[in-house]
Chain A
Amino acid sequence: MGGVNYVSRRRAALQPEEPDEESWEELVPLPPSCPLAGTAAGSWGGREAPGAMLGKGAGGSGAKPAKPSFVSYVSPEEIHKKEPIEKEVNLHLLPGELLLCEANTVLKCVQEDGSNRGACGKLICTNFKIAFLGDESASDDNEPEFKNKIIGENDITLHCIDHIYGVYDEKKKSLSGQLKKYPEKLIIHCKDLRVFHFCLRYTKEEEVKRIVSGIVHHSQTPKLLKRLFLFSYATAVPTNTDIQNQTVMFDAIKDWRVELERTKGNMKYKVLSANEAYKVSEKLPLYFVVPMSLSEESILQYQGRGIPIWCWSCHNGASLLKMSAFPKEQEDNTLQMHKIFLDGVYKTINKPPYEVLKTDDLSSSLPSLQDIQAAYTRFKQLFLIDNSTDFWDTDVKWFSLLESTNWLEIVRRCLKKAIEVAEYLEGQNTNVLLVEENASDLCCVISSLVQVMMDSHYRTKFGFQSLIQKEWVMGGHCFLDRCNHLRQNDKEEAPVFLLFLDCVWQLVQQYPPAFEFTETYLTVLSDSLYIPIFSTFFFNSQHQKDTNTSGEGHSAQSSHFRFLTVWDWSVQFESKAQVLLNNPLYVEKPKLDKSQRKTTRFKHQRQLSLPLTQTKSSPKRGFFREETDHFIKNILGKRISKLINSSDELHNNFTEFYDSWHCKPVDFHGLLLPHIDGPGIKVWAQRYLRWIPEAQLLGGGTVATATKILDMIEEVQSLQKKMDEKHSLTVPQGRESLPMLRNSARLSSLFPFALLQRHSLKPVLPTSTWKDLEDEDDLAKRDDEFVDLSEVI
């Protein structure tokens, strides 16, 4: 508690300086080294900030003048009049969160039924979010049970805002920069694909000006890293908990050693601590793993470039490596030196005990980041729907529109690349070295996909989280730039992580029993990308995080801030809601010996079938020779025929690997290859369709069966318990039940997300067409109208 007191005291002391800092009119960029920057921004609200501010607000004490400089728009009296009464009911601010501006009598339009219904309320903008507070208290009996504790139904974090549009005389215009004219309606497209309509027609003009420019400013203008809400929050929240988390963070040398041991890579690879003070490179994590035979000098020579860095080892010893390529040099001399260096490196790791090395330059074999960004921009447009008419317009040509976005094709190519890599590792016993400029974008996608596919450990929840820590967070994926959290450079933006999640989703939906987590987990994880209270997705590298955490340099008091990680799901969800993130049908890894189990399964299989070598490969080779005959190729399937045309040994290997895997029974704890044919790649419906009322099914969707599954699991468990009691064995721990699935008779297919849209859960039946016709008296009149009209025609 002492910490809190300290913070609030400091806040009082700092307040006079604040207004200038928070002003968006005269934004003075502070040098990052400014000692106040981090602490000042962060110390704005202590834990009691909301209560304290509100309480004092009525009294008009020193807290009020501290309002940021938009005070200039409005006389202080006005604020005093309104605030105390309304805010006390609804507004919940997080520690460190500050109310920046607000507007009353804003109408939130609900577009779902074509008739513009709306709820009246207050629109506020804080340094964390935009929130709409309805007048009718939403928190009555209908409180959704799957609720995000941080982000409410009507909350949009500033980082979640994708685009803001203003409607001027029925015309939609994108809002940015300085506004000359203020719109009558505000449309906000969110990155989690929600669409909000705020009608400002009944709002006072000054308030409109204030809120619109406030929202536009705080969400659209470039920001400094230190101004992230992350820091305010971290300062305001007492550094209390040591999070007990089974997720391996890979920020300690021990984590890497354990990982090496787990994958049996420790014979050929070693953990380096050479980068401990970021002496080697700021892009690399503190600890990383390299081939044992690599000398320390060569690592230091080019700041870690040209060095194969270990990702993962396959059970047969083949390893997945990654490498940052050298920047494209003009000078022959440097080029030559690089080449010599690389040759040396390759020579080292091509020798025994290492396996043969295959390098794959991802920047040439996969779409560029620009392509990915462009495809996603087109793709998400299909789901960001301003009104139903738009939706139905696109609906007619749904499939071709979907195809033209090219997003699913990119997903397919990534999965295909991952299968190729898996084939080298598993099928050909070859090391694979992924090369990319910084080894932190597509490298992350492919290497983590390969690991999810090949290592069942990464299909558990904690394993998956550890994987993201290892490959993405420590691997130096530039989350800050790729998500464009700071709005500093639109060109750097690319949804690489989302692409990865989409690829994983394809696997999850094709093999649900193989994953401990559900698609809901992935959806929630993708949303967490925009919640700036977790440090996980708000830094470009470990180095950036470390330097910004501890102010100047790397020092002893590095625990100045304690950031939350996204892996602590209890921050966002109650435990009963967290149940939804776990797959009840996950087939847990059996305790008995793996090899033993395999043989029994295959034995049974053999009785039905011929050995694969005979039935499969021999006739196929025969077919391949005859390339001219279109028909024969087709008999073996379209995919093969397509690949024959390239007549590439590589592709033959790939196809054979892919086909023969799909011919075998699926082992949920072994290698998992996704279907990548045309019909196999699907749209991640839960993430992309969840806010669209038209796509909602009352009493339908997978939720409908989920209840049944949970019931059955419960019964199985209780029976098992009974049996165990009979045999006096230990009682297995029961799963937590899901009361919310039981309570309501009919859930929507969009559950858990649809619960946030309560209106759509009412039974839907037509009235509008009929209303006019109900009146019998009206009929005669109508009939006359028809006469006129038809005669005109």
Chain B
Amino acid sequence: MLSGSKNSFKIQQHKPGPALRGPKSSDMNSGRNRNCQAFPCIPGEHVLEAAAHVRKIVRSRDGEGSILGTLYCTNLRVAFVPEPAPGDTVGAPRCSTCLHSEHDVALPCIGRLVAVNSVTKAKVLTASSTLKFIPEELVLYCRDFRVLRFRFRDSGLEPRACQVTLAIVQAQESSSASAGKWYDTGAIRNLENAWLSTEESSSSPPTLLFERPCDWEKELRRLGAAGWRVSPVNERFDMATSLPKYLWVPSRLLDNELKRAFGHFNARRIPRLCWHHPGGSDLLRAAGFHADSDPEKEDVRSVEALMLAGHAQCVIVETAADLPSPAEIQLSYLKLRALCLPDSSVADEKWLSALEGTRWLEHVRACVRKACEVAALLAERSRSIMLQGRVSRSLLWPRHRLDALRLGQVCESDDRDLNCLLASLVQVLWDPHARTQSGFQSLLQKEWVVAGHPFLQRLNLLRDNDREESPVFLLFLDCVWQLLQQFPASFEFTETYLVALHDSSYIPFFSTFLFNCQWERDRRNQHRASNQIYAPVNGWREPPPLEILQKGGRLAKERGGPYLPTIWDWALRYTTQQRAQFRNPAYARGSGSTTVPNGKSAPLGGDKLEAALSGNGTMYLFAKGALSPQTHLFPWKNGSLSKKGWRRAQSSESLSEQDRSLRSSPSGCPLQSEGLLLPASVGPLIRLWRRCYLRGSQEVQRGLFASTLAELAEELDLLRERLGD
């Protein structure tokens, strides 16, 4: 489809041929032609409309101003290319990144489009609307809280303004249909090559993608989890489509035994290891018990073995109990966005209660608190802790369940939303490695991307199903930000990095957020490569090895994964200077990444073996901040227990009391809590992520404190350099 051979392709040199341009390219004037050529389209992208001499209103640390440049509307995004001023470096960074800049917005990310005429009119534009005036200013309200303003006024090209505005409207409207398909084009490979060329220059430690078994092995070794192995039982996604290919399971459990456990869990998502505490505890995650699972079966033993994982004690943490449902998260997210947009009409004196009214911070607080509780459980003694999305109590409280169903509160994909959040948050609290950039990215790969968080549905990138939209991932990022601002020296990355990650979730050019699970991700890539569709309808056909399918086998060997770049290729979107801001100058390396928990020191003794052999473990249920012992695995199946089981031990005890006991028990455990962060979840300390959410407002968070520290670091480097001379 494209000119230029695959291997020699360089994005910077790319000059799209005339065929690639939009239908209007013929009547472009010469000036615009030049501009179009200057615009570095990504493969598969073509310019629909362009307008030169547009001013983009920018607010930066240095104050408000505007940049002169050209506004493009392509089939994928709205882009703005500043004109390089002589002796100025503003335009320069744009050249080195091809996919994203602060001036670009992907079409699916546009939330609302408003055309403004200075004298009279402002109009929200939709596909059906017609523009009856010449817009002087175009305001793009983005879903990632950005507000982009383009001013045509001085351009002297009023008809152009009209055209580009309408083009954007049309493109945006059709993007939901087309964007879903654009990655099917062969052009992606070239993107891949672009990735390769940039990748060479990056020197950051590699992010484990957890698409190959060696990643799993490596991470397992790092954790020092001795009793565990990597199981390829799901390598062909024939056990569970939403699960990753490889699972961490107890070493003692053979794959044959393992397979019998799948049926007992919703969506066949069995318990598997997330993280191993150096003290011996294990963090597991699983979906709820399947309603039809039969405890009389012999399989129960393997379920039990999975859950206990060789420990004498297993605590089942009910994730959904204290945390908001995806629907609630979505609701507060919408409210928050409305509040944070510059046109919110909330008076300053009512701001705080309006903020409270969104309940967003309440949700953040609930997540942080729950993560603290689980973190504390991990340290308490050697046990296994299983995060269970929704402890199925369908038979216990049928009315509840019905009500929930009717209200649409039941998300069938438990273990794919809040379990991701909680599992990763607990690891951020405990594991200093997860607070480094590569560690954090690996964590996201492991607990979100390959674990099957339905990013496509939740972020609703293709705008095809609003009902499933729920920014669980963004809630997680907010939680991490809370930790970051409470412990500013404990993270290798900065707020800027988190904001970048936040923004990236609305860019549909990357495999990371474009699929609902790893199976889809793999299938899409295979499909594109071989034009073969694998439907897991009645069993599985043997998938041809990727290496053979791909002509550029080198690629697959190196990456072992999909063709689409992952968002971790920051170089694609951010310049070196921008990426430099991802590094936290205050990061205290001493307390961090190098100290890998040593598995040998973990007290894995004979009792563990015994327990595993006998299978006589004790089960507890942890929910609403309280703990209740549980004698049977499937209490609702046992007639005598069905009535009384699952009662909460201290259900009257408030959450707060639990938390209090967590935070301030005088007889501290003999644990080395070196790496542990125990954040406060009290009202005054859970704050609004201003830099992210209030970007659109007039008052930009400047982050002066952080940047002065960065300046200090800069000065230090400069001095060192000079002294070295």
Residues of A at the B interface (CB closer than 8 Å) are 112-115, 117, 388-389, 391-400, 402-404, 408-409, 412, 510-513, 585, 587, 605, 607-610, 615-616, 619, 622-623, 626, 629-632, 634-639, 641-642, 659, 662-666, 675-681, 683, 685, 688-689, 692-702, 704-705, 707-709, 712-713, 715-716, 719-720, 722-723, 745-746, 749, 759-760, 762-770, 773, 776, 779, 782-783, 786-787, 789-791
CA distance A630 to B643 in the complex (A): 59
**Also in contact, A764 and B662, with CB within 8 A (given A395-B656, A605-B62, A626-B120):** yes
B146 to chain A, nearest CB (A): 15
- For the A-B complex with A585-B708, A719-B716, A767-B667 known, give 11 more contacts whose Cβ atoms are closer than 8 Å: A389-B654, A397-B356, A609-B58, A638-B697, A664-B63, A678-B346, A679-B699, A712-B712, A716-B712, A746-B591, A760-B664
Partner of A388, one of B90, B644, B660: B660
B197-213 with Cβ < 8 A to chain A: none
Q: How far is the CB of B720 from chain A (nearest CB, A)?
A: 7
CA distance A664 to B697 in the complex (A): 16
Closest residue of B by beta carbon distance from A413: B349
Q: Which residues of B contact A704 (CB under 8 A)?
A: 487-490, 586, 588
Rounded to whole angstroms, the CA-CA distance of A392 and B681 in the bound complex is: 10
Residues in B with CB closer than 8 Å to A692 are 682
Contact across chains for B709 and A765 when beta carbons are under 8 A apart:
no
Contact at B65–A113, with CB atoms within 8 Å? no
Q: Contact flags (1/0) for B390-427 with A, using CB distance below 8 Å?
A: 00000000000000000000000000000000000000
Q: If A608-B67, A637-B342, A662-B63 touch, does A403 touch B353 (CB 8 Å cutoff)?
A: yes
Question: Cα distance A762–B720 when bound, in Å?
Answer: 39
List 11 interface pairs A-B (beta carbons < 8 Å), by A numbering: A392-B655, A394-B683, A403-B350, A511-B704, A513-B708, A608-B88, A632-B116, A695-B685, A697-B680, A719-B723, A745-B591
Q: Is the CB of A723 within 8 A of B694?
A: no
Q: Which of B620-666 contact A (CB under 8 A)?
A: 620, 626-629, 631, 643-644, 647, 649, 654-666
- A113, B63: Cβ atoms closer than 8 Å: no
From A642, A694, A760, A767, give the contact of B347 (CB < 8 A). A642
Q: Is B291 an interface residue (CB 8 A)?
A: no
Check if A605 sits within 8 Å of B139, measured CB to CB: no
Chain B interface extent, by class: 35 or more
Question: Are the C-beta atoms of A769 and B708 separated by less than 8 Å?
Answer: no
Beta-carbon contact of A693 and B663 below 8 Å = yes
A395 to B659, CA, bound (A): 13
Cβ of B716 and Cβ of A114 under 8 Å apart?
Answer: no
Question: Interface segment, B103-111, B185-193, B250-258, B375-383?
Answer: B375-383
CB nearest neighbor in A for B486: A700
Give the docked Cα–Cα distance between A615 and B64 (Å).
10
For A716, list chain B residues within 8 Å (CB).
712, 715-716, 719
Report how far A409 CA is from B351 CA in the complex, Å: 10
Closest 6 CB pairs of A and B: A609-B65, A678-B351, A398-B683, A634-B343, A392-B656, A663-B64
Inter-subunit contact B348/A708 (CB<8 Å): no
Docked-complex contact B720 and A679, CB < 8 angstroms: no
A388 to B65, CA, bound (A): 50
Q: With A585-B708, A768-B661 as given contacts, are A665 and B61 in contact (CB-CB < 8 Å)?
A: yes
> Smallest distance from the beta carbon of B411 to chain A beta carbons, Å?
25
- Kindly report which residue of chain B lies nearest to residue A509, judged by CB atoms: B705
Kindly identify, within residues 92 to 133 of chain B, every residue whose CB is under 8 Å from any CB belonging to chain A: 114, 116, 118-122, 124
In the complex, the answer to whether A399 meets B346 with C-beta atoms within 8 Å is no
A764 surroundings in chain B (CB, below 8 A) = 662-665, 668, 678
**What residues on A are CB-neighbors of B643 within 8 Å?**
790-791
Are A610 and B65 closer than 8 Å at their CB atoms?
A: yes
Q: Are A399 and B665 in contact (CB under 8 A)?
A: no
Residue among B344, B628, B629, B663 with the highest chain A CB neighbour number at 10 A = B663
Q: Is the interface of B mostly helix, strand, loop or mixed?
A: mixed
Given A408-B352, A716-B716, A790-B643: A638 in contact with B668 (beta carbons within 8 A): no
A745: chain B residues within 8 A (beta carbon): 591
In the assembled complex, B304 has its CB within 8 A of some CB on chain A: no
Choose, from B15-23, B176-184, B558-566, B669-677, the stretch at the interface: B669-677
Q: Is the CB of B487 within 8 A of A697?
A: yes
The CA-CA distance from A513 to B712 in the complex, in Å, is 12
Known: A403-B353, A766-B380, A773-B629. A610 touches B647 (CB 8 A): no
- Chain A nearest Cβ from B415, distance in angstroms: 25
Chain B residues within 8 Å of A789, by CB? 647
Verify if B679 is at the interface (C-beta below 8 Å from A).
yes
Contact among B59, B355, B585, B665 for A708, CB-based, below 8 A? B585
- B64, B671, B722 — most chain A CB neighbours (10 Å): B64
A749 touches B666 (CB 8 A): no
Bound together, the chains give a CA A366 to CA B667 distance in angstroms of: 51
Q: How far is the CB of A706 from chain B (nearest CB, A)?
A: 9
A516 to chain B, nearest CB (A): 14
Residue of A nearest to B641 (CB): A787
B495 within 8 A of A: no
Bound CA span A746–B678, Å:
12
In the complex, what residues of A have CB within 8 A of residue B353's CB? 399-400, 403-404
Q: Are B586 and A791 in contact (CB under 8 A)?
A: no
Q: When A635-B122, A716-B712 are in contact, do A766 and B662 touch as well, CB less than 8 Å?
A: yes
Contact B122 A631 (CB under 8 A): yes
B684 CB contact (under 8 Å) in A663, A689, A770: A689
Q: Is the CB of A707 within 8 A of B588?
A: yes
Once the chains are docked, how many angstroms separate the CA of A791 from the CA of B118? 72
Assembled-state Cα–Cα distance A605/B64 (Å):
10
Q: Are A615 and B682 in contact (CB under 8 A)?
A: no
Interface contact B668-A659, CB-CB below 8 Å: no
- Contacts A113-B661, A631-B122, A678-B348; is A512 near B705 (CB within 8 Å)? yes
Output the residue of A701, A765, A787 with the most chain B CB within 10 A.
A765
What is the bound-complex CA distance between A119 and B682, given in angstroms?
Answer: 27
Whether A708 contacts B489 by the Cβ 8 Å rule is yes
Say whether B716 contacts A400, CB under 8 Å.
no
A677 touches B348 (CB 8 A): yes
A-contact 0/1 string along B480-523, CB 8 Å cutoff: 00000011111000000000000000000000000000000000
Task: Enumerate chain B residues within 8 angstroms of A585, measured Cβ to Cβ.
Answer: 705, 708-709, 712
Among A511, A698, A722, A770, the residue within 8 A (CB) of B723 is A722
Known contacts A608-B65, A765-B673; is-contact A399 B352 (Cβ 8 Å): yes
Chain B positions 570 through 607: 1 when the CB is less than 8 Å from some CB of chain A, otherwise 0: 00000000000000011010010000000000000000
Q: Is the C-beta of B713 less than 8 angstroms from some C-beta in chain A?
A: yes
A396 to B276, CA, bound (A): 33
Interface flag for B618 (CB, 8 Å):
yes
Q: Are B658 and A702 in contact (CB under 8 A)?
A: no
B321 at the interface (CB under 8 A from A): no
Q: Are B63 and A699 in contact (CB under 8 A)?
A: no
**Alpha-carbon gap, A676 to B343, bound state (A):** 17
Tell me, in angstroms, the Cα distance from A708 to B490 when the chains sit together: 11
Q: Specify the chain B residue showing the minimal Cβ separation from A774.
A: B381
**B28 in the interface (beta carbon within 8 A):** no
Report the minimal beta-carbon distance from A410 to chain B, rounded to whole angstroms: 10
Q: How far is the CA of A666 from the CA of B620 in the complex (A)?
A: 57
Does B345 have its Cβ within 8 Å of any Cβ on chain A?
yes
Interfacial residues of chain B within 27-67, with CB under 8 A of chain A in the complex: 55, 57-59, 61-67
Neighbouring A residues of B222 by C-beta, 8 Å? none
Task: Report how far A681 CA is from B352 CA in the complex, Å.
Answer: 10
Task: Name the A residues within 8 Å of B663 (CB-CB).
Answer: 113, 693-694, 764
A635 contacts B660, C-beta separation under 8 Å:
no
Q: How far is the CB of B102 from chain A (nearest CB, A)?
A: 13
Cβ of B349 and Cβ of A403 under 8 Å apart?
yes
Cα separation A635 to B696 with both chains bound (whole Å): 10
Q: Which residue of B lies closest to A114 (CB)?
A: B660
Give CA–CA (A677, B347) in the complex, Å. 9
With A and B bound together, what is the CA distance between A602 and B376 in angstroms?
53
- The yes or no answer to B690 lying at the interface (CB within 8 A) is yes
Alpha-carbon distance A783/B630, docked complex (angstroms): 8
CB–CB A512/B660 < 8 A: no
B469 on the A face (CB < 8 A):
no
